[in-house]
């Protein structure tokens, strides 16, 4: 007896392990293959709740991981791309999309004919492995990984089914499981198992296999499935609780949504039980709808549970958002007036688990870095024009932030670049490293300008008249370059890059004119040699700032293969 139990347990563990590896292989390769499409899909989330649900369902069905979808949503909320209400609808959809795995498993266990469906699908493991082994094309290798993962799913399923059949032949095991019939206990057990394994797809598949082999009844499977939904929130809670305020709220919404569904269905089950004296319940309904097919009975209940919960809670979304905002109020840590320590505004180590979100966060961090660098340039020009040093504390804090990003963002990008991401994202990250360096140099030139201001202040001299007008013209031209560059960079807009180049030509012309005016003023004795030297250095540094901004804009040419990256 002991040896039989040990063998069955070891076989079950092996099956679960293969199933987990298969899920991870499918999810990561599907995510890589569809990263750009997923970004496009999630960018289409609007204020229409039904569209949000549909996008969440499609995205999750595509990558076969509701946890990954939820982590992506938390990332989008954390960087301000999605509102809480939009995030809620996508999470609703993710819960529907994740039921696809259970339906695939049910189909695999359906049998029929001389060769089982499981055996046919399991053969895909070898086909996918051969594709990945002999292909030299990265995209083909990725699809080989997807096919291998899909096949391994059924290898693991077949092994789990075999172990369950062994358990089903043991009288002691059957009697023990038959005694676990308390609905609340089953829900709790399902939640704990999912929290430990961190994959609702795996535990749902185990439950379906147990139902097929007769180890558990359909009613037991139904209450376990409810618990699986609660336990699936663990991944989101881990991702959200150590992130920003809205990320925490999103994770809490996910938990409340799933708990709400379980409470509604437990109440409904209780009412049906009392009204029929225990003769009628969800199990009875699905047994009558799909007689003799316990795998489909449980898989379709899983779908019914999630779809019904979404339909009930969808009109209550605004109330759910208000509730989580009340429980987790806005952070007021910055209200003490002290300067913030240098830190990432968008990048988050936890998002490395979801590389396509991490890549987008890098882009947002660089956009913010550019804004900080240009704000410092603006402060520097104001300071040297008015010899007013009241903004220097803010300037120094910004410079510390730029230095921090130069030190910390590049190692993060290198780590991200070593993860499985699309070829397009690899090309982007290669350019992002150079862009960080260019923007740090913009900040350094702004520092130079404030030092020129200090020299003028110490000597008791200042820029006046037409000199100030020329400096202002240069400032406006450089900000025109900056605005066009960032439009090009964030939107991959080549027309905006052409406009940036035109403004950069204007900067070159202004620099040439400033050189001529500098020589004229020195010759005519309009200003001293010291003032002239500071003016000349200011003109030169401003031109270099424009050059570094253009470098950032031109980096978008590297995102498209075979596009010439020469100066335009």
Residue 331 has a pLDDT of 57
Q: Which residues contact 509 (CB under 8 A, 6 or more apart)?
A: none
Residue 27 predicted with pLDDT over 90: no
Number of other CB atoms surrounding residue 421 within 10 Å: 19
pLDDT for the residue numbered 45: 64
* 1 vs 520 pLDDT, higher one: 520
Q: Is 370 in a helix, a strand, or coil?
A: helix
Kindly tell me if the per-residue pLDDT of 550 is higher than 50.
Answer: yes
Residue that has been written with the tokens 């339909």 in this structure = 311
407 C-beta neighbours (distance < 10 Å), count: 12
Burial of 255 (0-12, 13-18, 19+ CB in 10 A): middle
Residue 239 binned pLDDT confidence (cut-offs 50, 70, 90): low
Q: What is the pLDDT of residue 293?
A: 82
Q: Give mean pLDDT, residues 11-24.
A: 80
Report the Cα–Cα distance between both ends of the chain, in Å, rounded: 79
The residue that leads in pLDDT, 512 or 239, is 512
On whether the CB atoms of residues 127 and 133 are closer than 8 A, the answer is no
The top-scoring range by mean pLDDT among 67-76, 319-328, 340-349 is 319-328
Closest CA to 306 of 267, 372, 257, 352: 257
Q: Which of 4-13, 266-275, 503-512 has the weakest average pLDDT?
A: 4-13
Mean pLDDT within 224-239: 84
Q: What is the pLDDT of residue 567?
A: 44
pLDDT at 15 over 90: no
Query: How far is residue 276's CA from residue 519's CA, in Å, rounded to a whole number?
Result: 100
pLDDT at 63: 67
Q: What does pLDDT average to over the chain?
A: 83
d(CA 106, CA 295): 5
Dist. CA 199–CA 125, nearest whole Å: 21
pLDDT digits (tens, 9 = 90+) for 167-213: 767 777 777 777 788 889 999 998 988 888 777 777 888 888 888 88
Is pLDDT larger for residue 471 or for residue 357? 471
pLDDT in tens, 465-520: 889 999 999 999 999 999 999 999 988 889 999 999 999 999 999 999 998 888 88
Q: Indicate whether 382 pLDDT > 90.
A: yes
What pLDDT is attached to residue 116?
58
**pLDDT at residue 353 greater than cutoff 80:** no
Can you read off the two tokens belonging to residue 514?
Answer: 């400033």
Pure H helices in 109-137: 117-122, 124-134
Q: Is the pTM of this model over 0.85?
A: no
Residue from 159, 146, 217 nearest 183 by CA:
217
Contact of 416 with 429, CB cutoff 8 Å: yes
Q: Judge whether residue 332 has pLDDT over 80.
A: no
At 277, list the tokens: 């004296």
Q: What is the pLDDT of residue 406?
A: 93
pLDDT at 324 over 80: yes
At residue 132's C-alpha, the angle toward residues 126 and 135, to 5°, is 125
pLDDT of 263 strictly over 90: yes
Average pLDDT (158-172) is 75
Using the predicted structure, report yes or no on whether residue 1 has a pLDDT greater than 70: no
Q: Which tokens hold the place of 480?
A: 């025109």
The reported pLDDT for the residue numbered 429 is 92
Domains of the chain and any CATH numbers: 2-327 (no CATH), 349-559 (1.20.58.220)
Kindly tell me if the per-residue pLDDT of 19 is higher than 80: no
């Amino acid at each position: 007896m002991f040896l039989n139990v040990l063998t069955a347990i070891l076989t079950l563990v092996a099956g679960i392990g293969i199933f987990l590896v298969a899920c991870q292989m499918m999810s990561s390769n599907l995510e890589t293959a569809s990263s750009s499409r997923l970004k496009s899909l999630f960018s289409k989330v609007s204020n229409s709740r039904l569209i949000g649900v549909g996008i969440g369902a499609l995205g999750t069905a595509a990558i076969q991981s509701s946890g990954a979808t939820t982590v992506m949503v938390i990332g989008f909320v954390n960087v301000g791309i999605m509102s809480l209400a939009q995030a809620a609808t996508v999470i609703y959809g993710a819960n529907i999309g994740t039921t696809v795995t259970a339906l695939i498993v049910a189909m695999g266990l359906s049998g029929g004919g001389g060769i089982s469906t499981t055996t046919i699908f399991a053969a895909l493991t070898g086909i996918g492995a051969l594709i990945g082994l002999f292909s030299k094309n990265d995209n083909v290798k990725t699809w080989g990984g997807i096919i291998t993962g899909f096949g391994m799913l059924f290898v693991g399923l077949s092994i789990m089914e075999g172990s369950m059949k062994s358990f089903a032949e043991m009288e002691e095991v059957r009697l023990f499981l038959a005694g676990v019939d308390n609905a609340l206990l089953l829900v709790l057990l399902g939640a704990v198992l999912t929290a430990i394994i961190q994959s609702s797809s795996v535990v749902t598949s185990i439950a379906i296999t147990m139902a097929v082999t007769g180890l558990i009844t359909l009613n037991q499977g139904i209450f376990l499935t409810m618990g699986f939904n609660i336990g699936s929130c663990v991944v989101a809670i881990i991702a959200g609780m150590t992130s920003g305020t809205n990320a925490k709220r999103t994770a809490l919404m996910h938990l409340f949504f799933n708990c709400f569904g379980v409470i509604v269905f437990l109440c409904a089950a209780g009412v049906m039980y009392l009204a029929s004296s225990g003769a009628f319940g969800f199990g009875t309904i699905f047994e009558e709808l799909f007689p003799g097919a316990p795998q489909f009975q449980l898989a379709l209940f899983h779908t019914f549970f999630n779809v019904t919960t979404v339909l009930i809670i969808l009109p209550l979304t605004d109330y759910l958002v208000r509730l989580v905002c009340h429980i987790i109020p806005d952070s007021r840590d910055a209200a003490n007036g002290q300067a913030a320590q240098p830190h990432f505004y968008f990048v988050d180590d936890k998002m490395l688990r979801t590389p396509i979100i991490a890549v987008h966060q890098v882009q947002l961090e660089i956009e913010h870095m550019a804004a900080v660098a240009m704000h410092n340039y603006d402060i520097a020009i104001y300071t040297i024009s008015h010899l007013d040093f009241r903004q220097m504390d803010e300037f120094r804090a910004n410079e510390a932030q730029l230095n921090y990003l130069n030190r910390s963002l590049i190692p993060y990008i290198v780590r991200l670049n070593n993860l499985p991401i699309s070829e397009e994202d690899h090309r982007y990250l290669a350019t992002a490293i150079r862009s960080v360096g260019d923007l740090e140099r913009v900040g350094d030139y702004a520092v130079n300008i404030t030092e020129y201001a200090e020299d003028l202040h110490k000597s008791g001299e200042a820029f006046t008249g037409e000199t100030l007008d020329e400096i202002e013209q240069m400032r406006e031209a450089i900000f025109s370059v900056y605005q066009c560059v960032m439009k090009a960079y964030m939107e991959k807009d080549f027309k905006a890059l052409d406009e940036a180049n035109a403004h950069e030509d204007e900067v070159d012309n202004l620099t040439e004119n400033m050189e001529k005016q500098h020589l004229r003023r020195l010759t005519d004795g309009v200003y001293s040699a010291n003032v002239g030297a500071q003016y000349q250095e200011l003109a030169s540094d401003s031109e270099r700032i424009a050059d570094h901004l253009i470098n950032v804009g031109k980096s978008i040419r590297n995102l498209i293969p075979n596009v010439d990256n020469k100066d335009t």
